[in-house]
Every structure is written in C-alpha cells, then in structure tokens.
Amino acid sequence: MSKVVELRPEHVMGTHTLTMIDVRDHDELRGQLPKLSRSRHVALPELIEAGLPGDIKRDEPLLMICRSGARSRRAAEHLLRRGYTRVHNLTGGMIAWYDTQATLETEVTQRMTLQELAE
C-alpha cells in the first residue's frame, strides 16, 4: 500500500494537477477559512460512508483538505485503504493555506515597496 504524501501549501498553490477534496463539515465552508473555489466538497463522514463521487478515478492525484490537516489525513489514509493510489494531504490544512497566502502577499507588497524606493 502507498503512503499519504504530505504537501505544504506553498508547494501546491498555483498548480492545477491535483484534484482538491475538502472534507470539512458543511458549516465550516463559509467561515473564516472558506472553501477554495476549485476544491470539491465531500464531508469526512460522507466520504467514509459512501466514498468519493464516481467521476474521480482511483489513480487521479488527490489533495485532501480540512481545517488543520488532521481530518484530511484520516480521509487520505481511508482512500489509500480503498485502492486510491495518488493521495496527498495538505499539511496544516486551510489554516496553513491562508497563513501562507497572507505571507506571500506581504512579501509581494514589500518587494513592490522596495522597488518604489529604488526608483
């Protein structure tokens, strides 16, 4: 059996080669850490009971997402046991995603400010 590959947000931001699956509960998707527009939602209990939608292939590269990375890791391990072969987990979950996004935006702003000062 394969093992879950952990990926940090900065390694997957901007890539479109992974199918993102958000396993948080429905009510979590609208709060401070909203669902990414390109991710699909399958809550963890639904995933464990019914599996993934049929259009998702067992050899498709998947990135499992939750709030902190714990539930998505459980989901990823469950999928590996069910025969999915290319399963990744977003290390730190959506908390890390938005923290990384804010850090990158700050770095871009700082670079722009430095360019303005140099002019």
pLDDT at 88: 97
Range among 1-5, 33-37, 88-92, 110-114 with highest mean pLDDT value:
88-92
Identify the band that residue 20 occupies on the pLDDT scale cut at 50, 70 and 90. very high
pTM of the model: 0.84
Q: Is 60 exceeded by the pLDDT of residue 89? A: yes
- The hierarchical CATH code for the domain 5-118 is 3.40.250.10
Q: What is the DSSP letter of 53?
A: -
Domain ranges of the chain: 5-118
Round to whole Å and give the CA distance between 43 and 53.
Answer: 12
Least confident of 8-12, 22-26, 93-97, 105-109: 105-109
What token pair was written down for 91? Answer: 């290390």
Q: Is 70 exceeded by the pLDDT of residue 80? A: yes
